[in-house]
Structure 1
Amino acid sequence: MEIQCTGNTNKQSDIGENDSNRPNVIFIMDDQHRWDALGKVNPQVITPTLDSLAEKGLYFSQAVCQAPMCVPSRNSIMFGLYPNQTGVFRNSGGLPDSLMPAKTMAQYFQEAGYETAGFGKTHWGKYRTSTRGFETRYVSEIDEEGAISMSSVNPAAKTRYDAEIGPMGAGEENNLGYLGFTSKLPEEDHRDGWITKKVIEYLEKRDDERPLFFYLSYMKPHAGHNVPEGYEELYDSEHIQYAEQPPWEEDRSVHAKGVNRREMYEPYWKNATEEQWKLMTMRYYANVTWIDDMMGRTLHTLRKKGLLDNAIVVYTSDHGEMLGEQYYRFNKYNLYDGSVRVPMILSGSALPDSLGINRVNDFPVENIDVMPTVLEVAGINPGIELPGQSLLGLKKRNGTFSALHERDDEAAFMWRNKEYKLILVFNRKQSAPEYTKNDIIGGEFYDLTNDPNEWYNLYDQSEFREKQEQFTVDLLDHLYKMVRFGD
């Protein structure tokens, strides 16, 4: 499971000059992975693969997603644009191929002469799409025109898996989905297990001489917590620490009240036993460990085939998971740290020597920075000025941005750095995209240094008004620039 990344043999000035030294680009993502569900950060969690990647590269401790839900977040990552620029705001949204706002990451690499291979979840949204730049494409759940799907190749396994998760409800996110159970199915009957099997088969047979853009995206550790046998046994559930509840009598969220199925979660988990809380949390971590193990097997095969000898490896997640924090709040759909922060790692032998290894970078970074990073390392000019910035040469950034559009009448935006966080709630604009101070209808402000749990809302308190005002100016300025992007 340990990853052996070779030393860097390419200087930054050499990257992308010709086919012989263009690095392979390995982009790995999973789903609903909390920022602190990482052994490097939390000794409770077993993630040897990701820890090894971080030891050989950079771990970005303050990374955030641009929308705390799958569809807008993944569109944002793959187009390199903010949700306000893609026009994809919710999981119910999406874009047909004819209305794509820009090239996808895979299209850039395909046009630059790379072989493009994509495995696993993309979740473009409600429209059936093409593979959008992937020459080889395997999907486990949502079909794309031209992709090979689990249901077409192994329908019996897909039927068995769907039957097992049926009682977990929509999105596998009811209370049983979170409490979980040990799966009775073999790994290859699971969607992520099937994808990993196809990845290994593909890599073992691959003989293409072109540089490779490789995309691997898992559906877990998103609930349900039905991890295959062998992973729960790695944990001692008796000693698992779970979410501590704030000293409240009711939910105090200003920006996300009533958008996370509270009527289902709150009564159940208020009355859950300590054993149930520990089991739920442990099974989430066991899911994380299972995904980490499959990542390790994939990277081992890539190394065996020589594909890591000259490569960049990027890892992130589309968003986090609350796991009962903030007064029995589960899944995502909010702008608190458990949901918006993600574990981001940049590693691989093609990283410039000047970046160093085994470093923790606490600069404010975003998932939108993945696109300019991988394009720069491959020497690809996007032809437009992308709103993100390359992780290879970070410039001054005052904060990070995330957006929540889950209510019809409101929009909430976050501006965050390591010390403070501002969340502003606006009257949602249906026709005009510009937001001004006059549209603000509420807010939250947190001192993250002294209140990392975000329990004490300091919005409009005199002691923090000057800092809050500066964050407000920065957030409105960021929204203004997004509206005018591409003008």
Structure 2
Amino acid sequence: MMINKLLLWLLCVTALFARAPATGFAADKSRPNVIFLMDDQHRWDALGVVDGAVKTPNLDALAKSGILYDQAVCQAPMCIASRNSMMFGLYPNQTGVLRNGHGMPDAQLPARPLPELFRDAGYQTAGFGKTHWGLVCGTRGFETRYIAECLENDAVMMIDDAPAAKQRYDAESKTMGPGEEDNLGYLGFTSPLPEGEHRDGWVTNKCLEFIDGEIDPERPLFLYLSFLKPHAGHNVPAGYEDRYDVNDTQYASQPPWTEDRSPHAAGVNRRDKYIDYWSKATDEQWRLMTMRYRANCTWIDDMFGRALKALQRKGVLDNAIIVFCSDHGEMLGERFYRFNKYCLYESSVRVPLVLAGSAIPEQLRGTRDHRAAELVDLYPTLLSATGIEVPQQSVGLNLLDRQKRPASFCALHEREAEAAFMWRTADHKLILRMKRRVDDDASTYTANDIIGGEFFDLVNDPQEWRDLYSAPSVHLETRERMTQELLAFLKSHHKRTNFRQRKR
């Protein structure tokens, strides 16, 4: 009798567990959840683990528990070109998106975008915030999509969901000029608006609502949370500036020049306006501008932290890989009053890049990786880590393997008649200015196209004030070797056939 009761109890328990929904969060270790955190114009050194003057405790915790790639760079120092490169796993000259202009229509994509690959592999895909494809397009693989700016068909837009809040934010941002990047946008102010009426605040709330009630436990999750800040304007919600002492804020020192010395990026993007204003700005204005940029970073960090805590409560992080990166950096007044990006100098091209989470191999956790990492590497890295086949045309490296490249690459196409290409190691940087090809096919450039260059010893001149390109020096052999490496890299840098056309 006792045995029969025991058997009956075992059958009931077995049936109960058989009916319980399988959880995509932890059951299949080969399919970890992917949490993709991104922001805009975040300097590589604007993290507390790199510069203790910046308060980013949540991102610091990721960096300390995961892998910090401390030599990572973007492939184009501007939003649209950089983000297209990253999401398609191709270099800008291969996507055809070279500047902050028109992006690639849905019918002419050069490759399959990352969210689409995850969706088709069975992941639940949810995107919150900026992608900046550069045109009105579809959601490109996101099943759930909320976005504050840059229209995507079938996405929920802030102007439709919270029109009054969006209108109040737009009225506030008008004082900061186009792109919120005028001088007053950089100087900034404490915003009187509540966080939820800021675009990033609205996006955060939508993400938290999704985490709380819309995650599908039957599938692994690909969640993308991307903010518009710390990109100027520096209109920080109340409370975040209070975490800093403006009197202790150190800001950019200037080179001993009387005019700009940036051959590959001379005159681009508001140069005269910035120089005129900030060369006359007071010490207090410089401190406020720099402090508010950092306060923006702290605000962003706080919102990331809230999302991660909500995911942890749901069990999503029990089996997950977490990415944090930015699309490019921010000069913040360095190198003769240079602001935003649009150049190949360190604070523009270097980006914060972290891989963390329980799916990271244990031996790699809590490490710093000094390899020449690129944003284009995220495409094959995330696909490989989740067991999804990497498309053949992908050009990046798997950052969780030990693959290496001799140097990292970035390209600038801001001047009509010339292109500039960077080849960078931790010790040296070469920038070649080349007569621009009409078809922008990088594989056709040769030494005959070189019209000038810049070369820097990053160890002894991290501020890049001393251009050694034309100066006889002990670096001549290194410069020539890097020139040949860059030319060889460009030669192999073929344009990719349109993916949609190839599919047909």
Using the size of structure 1 for normalisation, the TM-score is 0.95
Query: What is the Cα deviation at residue 21 of structure 1?
Result: 4.5
2:493 aligns with one of 470, 482, 485 = 482
Q: Residue 401 in 1 paired to residue 412 in 2?
A: no
Instruction: State the number of aligned residues.
Output: 471
Deviation at 1:479, TM superposition (A): 1.1
2:186 aligned partner: 178
Residue 138 of structure 1 corresponds to: 146
* Corresponding residue for residue 316 of structure 2: 307
Structure 1 partner of 2:430: 422
Q: Please, which runs of 5 or more residues in structure 1 have no aligned partner?
A: 1-14
Change beyond 3 A, Cα 1:432–1:334: closer
1:31–1:220 contact (8 Å) kept in structure 2: yes
Alpha-carbon deviation of 1:353?
2.2
How far, CA to CA, are the matches of 1:207 and 1:31 in structure 2? 26
User: Which letter does structure 2 place at the counterpart of 1:298?
Assistant: A
One-letter code of the match for 1:478?
A: F
Q: Provide the C-alpha distance between the structure 2 equivalents of 1:53 and 1:386, rounded to a whole number of angstroms.
A: 27
Question: 2:453 & 2:491 partners in 1: Cα distance?
Answer: 19
The offset of 1:352, in angstroms, is 1.5
Q: Aligned partners of 1:16 and 1:405: how far apart in 2?
A: 43
5+ residue gaps, structure 2: 1-23, 499-504
Matched residue, 1:93: 102
Contact 1:312–1:346 at 8 Å: present in 2 too? Answer: yes
What secondary structure sits across from 2:341 in the alignment?
A: coil
1:262 aligns with 2:271: yes
AA partner of residue 358 (structure 2): S
Structure 1 residues 24 and 38 mapped into 2: Cα distance closer, same or farther (>3 Å)? same
Contact 2:25 2:319 in 1 (8 A): no
Deviation at 1:237, TM superposition (A): 0.5
Q: Percent same amino acid among aligned pairs?
A: 59
Is residue 70 of structure 2 the alignment partner of residue 48 of structure 1? Answer: no
The residue that corresponds to 1:368 in the other structure is 376
**Is the deviation greater in 472-481 or in 35-44?**
472-481
1:165 partnered with 2:173 = yes
Amino acid at match of 2:356: S
Other-structure match for 1:318: 327
Amino acid across the alignment from 2:286: W
Q: Secondary structure in 2 aligned to 1:381?
A: coil
Is this contact kept in 1: 2:26–2:318, CA < 8 A?
A: no
Paired position in structure 2 for 1:224: 233
* Counterpart contact for 1:460–1:468, Cα < 8 Å: no
Deviation at 1:394, TM superposition (A): 3.0
Q: Partner of 1:308: helix, strand, or coil?
A: helix
Q: Are 1:252 and 2:223 counterparts?
A: no
TM-superposed deviation, 1:92:
1.2
Q: CA deviation at 1:386?
A: 1.4
Match in the other structure for 1:213: 222
Match of 2:11 in 1: none
SS at match of 1:255: helix
Give the equivalent residue in structure 1 for 2:195: 187
Deviations 1:434-472 (A, max 9, x none): 111111111000000000000000003222221111111
Would the aligned equivalents of 1:31 and 1:318 in 2 still touch at CA under 8 Å? Answer: yes
Partner deviation per Cα, 1:254-295 (whole Å, 9 max, x = no partner): 100000311111011011000000000000000000000000
Task: Name 2:391's counterpart in structure 1.
Answer: 383
Cα RMSD for the two superposed structures: 1.6
Structure 1 stretch displaced more, 204-213 or 276-285: 204-213
Residues 19, 210 of structure 1: 8 Å contact kept: no
2:459 aligned partner, one-letter code: T
C-alpha distance 16-218 of structure 1, shift in aligned 2 (>3 A)? closer
**Counterpart-to-counterpart distance in 2, 1:142 and 1:299:** 25
* 1:26 maps onto 2:35 in alignment: yes
Alpha-carbon deviations, 1:218-246, whole Å to 9, x = none? 00000000000000000001010000000
What residue in structure 2 maps to residue 9 of structure 1? none
Letter in 1 for 2:391: G
Q: Take 1:465 and 1:207, find their aligned partners in 2: how far apart are those partners? A: 57
Q: Contact 2:254 / 2:337 at 8 angstroms: preserved in 1?
A: yes
- 2:18 — aligned with what? none
- 2:466 equivalent in structure 1: 456
**In the alignment, structure 1 residue 412 sits paired with structure 2 residue 423:** no
Q: In 2, are the aligned partners of 1:404 and 1:411 still within 8 Å (CA)?
A: yes
- Tell me which amino acid in the other structure corresponds to 1:64: V
Counterpart residue identity of residue 465, structure 2 = W
Tell me what 1:58 maps to: 67
- Tell me the distance in 1 between the aligned counterparts of 2:332 and 2:390: 38
The equivalent position to 1:358 in structure 2, one of 347, 351, 366, is: 366
Cα distance, 1:473 vs structure 2: 0.9
TM-score normalised by the chain length of structure 2: 0.91
Q: What secondary structure sits across from 2:359 in the alignment? A: coil
Q: What does the per-residue CA deviation read over 1:307-365, in whole Å, with 9 as the maximum and x for residues that have no partner?
A: 0000000110000000000100001000000100001001000112232x221111110
In 2 relative to 1, CA 272–17 (structure 1 residues): closer, same or farther, beyond 3 Å? closer
423, 440, 451: which one aligns with 1:441: 451
Task: Name the residue aligned to 1:467.
Answer: 478
Q: Tell whether 2:128 aligns with 1:119.
A: yes
